[in-house]
Chain A
């Protein structure tokens, strides 16, 4: 008998294609897992509307679960994904990988607000600067450490 607990365990093996140290469960994009009549329905939500990884994530889920149970992947937009759903374990893994995890950010409606203090994932210095609000993927901003000079990605806060 396949349980949802087992499915969650299997899903915890599915890596995000863009940031392979994170699983899709760490990211919080798996919203629900249901088993109805020996069929598993996994509902996921995109991080950003245009995230090109969504199709691949769907395929990876099917690959991970299909040997165990017939699976269907559904997508939902509401409630909209937020970085608040990222697990603490996920944030720690991001930092070790060299990407600064999301910080509690100021209201985006304030123009030229002092950028959020994002500690450097290499040397942990808080003396860093934002280079660009937009980075290598939709979910990241670009920062540089003024202390050790390391340029790094910051997984920006989305609320």
Chain B
């Protein structure tokens, strides 16, 4: 694997996480539990899709095969997406959506913070830009974890269930393989293991404030990073890709 190939894979991973989670959050448009949350979730979706655009634009220059960012976003098959299993999980209800977002935002903030020091200037620039937005996202999801956990008996029980459910996918946040190894040596990528303690401390701290239990089960699932997805991704892609598949090269 050349450095360029590794970097392409690395950039597409980050982009896919943003794109798929952005698409999931966009499903809330018009369905939010209250108007303010409808707006909040779709605002966050817009930030994520904007990040994905920047990253895909960079990825196509690395790939250098004449593809566009839209082709990467809309014309790959499920096995070619490298997003985390966590981000493709269905919205289910507001609690599940917030729990998924919370684990992801807590990771993303630490990830982008560290990535601003990347030797790759474009990656560092995208991280710097995205970090400012991610801080807002993390504040939003953390405060909702606390409000729901420390809320009514019903909200407490339901957010605990959602926190427990998504826990199995958090292991994959720290997935690494030879792609990472290649880039860590060059100071381009990060050793994700170095983020784990800070991530766990932050998550534990917020859950404690929320009067919630940190899940203790060790059941874990992974596969998204290598293209092995849950069936949920297929349905998501079918909806997201519909326009480009039905009307190739359609533009606004």
Q: Please report A residues at the B interface, Cβ cutoff 8 Å.
A: 46, 48-52, 76-82, 108-109, 111-112, 131-136, 138, 142, 158-159
Contacts and interface: CB of A to CB of B under 8 A. Distances in A.
14 contacts: A48-B47, A50-B48, A50-B49, A77-B125, A81-B129, A108-B136, A111-B139, A111-B143, A111-B146, A131-B36, A134-B44, A136-B39, A142-B39, A158-B132
B40 A49 contact: no
A49 B121 contact: no
Contact of A78 (B40, B124, B142): B124
Contacts, number: 84
Interface residues of B, number: 35
Given A77-B54, A111-B143, A138-B46, A133 B129 contact: no
Contacts of A132: 36-37, 39-40
B30 to A, nearest CB: 15
A46 B53 CA distance: 12
Contacts of B128: 77-80
Given A111-B139, A111-B146, A49 B36 contact: no
B130 A49 contact: yes
Given A48-B47, A135-B43, 17 more contacts: A48-B50, A49-B47, A49-B51, A49-B129, A49-B130, A52-B46, A77-B54, A77-B125, A80-B125, A82-B132, A111-B139, A111-B143, A111-B209, A134-B136, A136-B39, A138-B133, A142-B36
Contact of B121 (A46, A78, A81, A131): A78
A156 B121 CA distance: 28
Which of A50, A78, A131, A159 has most chain B Cβ within 10 Å?
A: A50
Contacts of A46: 50, 129
A28 to B, nearest CB: 14
